[in-house]
Structure 1
Amino acid sequence: MKQACVPSVTSTPVSVRRLGAALAVCALLWTGAVHADEYGDVNQLLKSGKYSEALNKADMFLASKSRDPQMRFLKGVILTEMGRPVDAVNAFQALTQDYPELPEPYNNLAALYAQQNQLDKARAALEMAVRINPNYAVAHENLGDVYARLASQSYNKALQLDTSSTALPAKLTAVRSVLNPPSRTAARK
């Protein structure tokens, strides 16, 4: 699944790891002229992998502007990259409560839920993101990934219950190929 604005460093499907590009775009779109330096500094620290410094700078900014949605979003991204999913979930949940009109926090929340295999929560968050912004391609792609993972789970359960089924193995293979497409390098060989 893709997050809105920074790469996820996990062993989850490729689509989850591609979330970073969307996060960077969101950060740029939210950047106001007045705070461009602060956002830019935090983004640069984040891109450089200096997560503790980025978090400190974000916290200093938020000490005086606690409701700023962009810096709060960046803080959630930083916490995600630091491997602090509980704190990141809390940050994105708070954003969805304070700014329910923003689809990106729902998308990132869904990515965290999906990484924790909480697929029903991920689905609900992504459905909210696409309800808010029907043109949000990243959220639609992520929702498709969640649906595919849910389908895989259902097919696996059905196969456990009916080992004689001839249709289920083919369906399971098809869903797995969607979730784990061959790499371009492997496809060229």
Structure 2
Amino acid sequence: MKITLFIILFSIYIFPSYTQEENKRHQEYNSIITAPIESSLKQKKIDSFFKQKLQSPPTLDLANCYHDYSINRYKTSRVNNDKKTLKEAINYAKKALNIKKKIGNVTQESIDKTLFNLGFFNFRNHEYFKAIDYFSELIEVGKTNKKIKAYNELGSSYIEIGDFHKALNSTEKAFELCKPIDVNQRNIINIYLLRADIYSVMGYKEHSKEIKKNLQKADSILDIASFNKARIKSRMHQIEGNRLLETKKYQDAILIFSKILESQHHLDSINRAIAHNSLGLSFLKTRQLDNAKFNLESAIQYNPKYTAAYENLGDLHLEKKEFKKGLYQYQKAINYSISNHSKFTYRDLIDTERLEIAIHKYYLLHHLIQKANGWMQYYHHDKNQDHLIQALKTFKIADKLVDIIRFESSEYKSKLYWREQASSLYMKAVEVSFLLKKSEDAYYFMEKTRRYSY
């Protein structure tokens, strides 16, 4: 069963480039952006505007227009969930940065804003190594207030590539810059919550005390803060609810997740999906299957691409001995993990060449393991050997994905992560191989178990 590792999402700082005075000098650009015309016509006018400006030597004014139009493209990409527009945002921001570096008479603050946005846009585009490069450059040359935010985003980027040691180190560096405390309350709270997130991904059970400690420290500062606390409280409750769920305090988790849903706006679809999924899983753990089904289906209604909810719905169907329905939900989670929305059946297998293009490979790996385990449960239910064959095929695909992840991820991640995978994947694969009397496969998976158990 999938304990959601997705955290409550928040608005992030994206920095506009203009001061109020500069805005007055860019009436032509602003008049195009604010014009009540169709988007296609507006894009033509913007293209013409930039083409005209490029007839002259590059100026700070042009760089600022590129910078702010990159923000426009980013916001549009969020509304339309469009990766092409997000890439446009990155390209316009790069043009802004190149001009700012070239002309020389630019304040460091202006460069910092563009560097930060490039890091953030690349993070949103799942280009985590590029994000790390931009945030690292900002930290090297930027001013203190931007460095704090850059260290936080750098930590988030390291989480995504599995380098938890560097993620934690980034938070320590951010703490060093947060003085005096009274003017950095929000930054300090965000750092404590990021540390709680890092320890959560490293393992709720193993790091439960560290998660709790960082949440308590964040809460103690939040108590004396004067800004709006609602969204931060919601994020804290999600992390704490996940901790309670993973440490088998299910009734306490149900209370926490119910409280989150009561406080969230009904249009906050992404975060409501996360909360409903967590609540559904809590009910599933306590065998309140009707409540579990309602909340998992609610999660999918709020966010149809949320693969964790499909996996948990698969677990629910297996709990009810509805094996084909469960396997179908696992396959849906797998397909959505690689952006495959074509028709499929519960017996389908993912093409191995598509493993490398998956963005969230760790989630995909978990979906594959759960489906293989589902086939095993189906076999133990009716003793149909074909189910074992399907399980072995799925384990072999999961094994290929492990090799890809191991190649991409850090050594530190491996030490913390792969012992658990050896148990959930390779030991089960050994069992299936023996049941099928495939000694070579059994030996292969036994060797993989030994490799990742030390």
Question: Structure 2 length normalisation: TM-score?
Answer: 0.29
Give the root-mean-square deviation of aligned CA atoms.
3.4
Residue pairs, 1:16-31, within 5 angstroms: 23=6, 26=7, 29-30=9-10
Quickly say closer, same or farther: Cα 1:61–1:124, change in 2 above 3 A: farther
For 2:260 and 2:222, locate their aligned partners in 1 and report how far apart those are by CA, in whole Å: 13
For 1:37 and 1:31, locate their aligned partners in 2 and report how far apart those are by CA, in whole Å: 15
Matched, 1:117 2:287: yes
Matched, 1:56 2:206: no
Which residue does the alignment assign to 1:148? Answer: 318
Other structure's SS at 1:70 match: helix
Aligned residues: 151
- Report the alpha carbon displacement of residue 91 of structure 1 after superposing the two structures with TM: 0.8
Other structure's SS at 1:151 match: coil
Which residue does the alignment assign to 1:90? Answer: 255
Residue type at the aligned position of 1:147? H
Which residue does the alignment assign to 1:4? Answer: 4
- Report the alpha carbon displacement of residue 42 of structure 1 after superposing the two structures with TM: 1.9
Which residue does the alignment assign to 1:128? Answer: 298
For the Cα contact (< 8 Å) 2:245–2:253, is it kept in 1? yes
Which residue does the alignment assign to 2:243? Answer: 78
- Report the alpha carbon displacement of residue 38 of structure 1 after superposing the two structures with TM: 2.4
Matched, 1:41 2:195: yes
- Report the alpha carbon displacement of residue 120 of structure 1 after superposing the two structures with TM: 1.3
For 1:40 and 1:86, locate their aligned partners in 2 and report how far apart those are by CA, in whole Å: 26
- Report the alpha carbon displacement of residue 124 of structure 1 after superposing the two structures with TM: 0.8
Matched, 1:173 2:343: no
For 1:95 and 1:80, locate their aligned partners in 2 and report how far apart those are by CA, in whole Å: 14
Matched, 1:107 2:277: yes
Residue type at the aligned position of 1:43? D
Residue type at the aligned position of 1:184? A
For the Cα contact (< 8 Å) 2:250–2:285, is it kept in 1? no
Residue type at the aligned position of 2:241? G
Q: Deviations over 1:135-189 (max 9, x none)?
A: 111111211221221235xxxxxxxxxxxxxxxx9894379x79xx672233331
- Report the alpha carbon displacement of residue 61 of structure 1 after superposing the two structures with TM: 5.3
For 1:30 and 1:128, locate their aligned partners in 2 and report how far apart those are by CA, in whole Å: 21
Q: Deviations over 1:38-77 (max 9, x none)?
A: 2212224444332441442354355352542222211211
Question: Structure 1 length normalisation: TM-score?
Answer: 0.63
For the Cα contact (< 8 Å) 1:58–1:75, is it kept in 2? no
Higher relative contact order (CA 8 A, sep 6+): 1
Residue type at the aligned position of 1:131? Q
Which residue does the alignment assign to 2:429? Answer: 184
Other structure's SS at 1:3 match: coil
For the Cα contact (< 8 Å) 1:54–1:78, is it kept in 2? no
Structure 1: runs of 5 or more not aligned: 6-22, 153-168
Structure 2: runs of 5 or more not aligned: 13-148, 150-186, 323-377, 393-427, 434-440, 443-454
Q: Deviations over 1:76-116 (max 9, x none)?
A: 11222444222211110111222243201111111111111
Other structure's SS at 1:134 match: coil
For 1:111 and 1:53, locate their aligned partners in 2 and report how far apart those are by CA, in whole Å: 25
Q: Percent identity?
A: 24
Quickly say closer, same or farther: Cα 1:137–1:71, change in 2 above 3 A: same
Structure possessing the higher radius of gyration over alpha carbons: 2
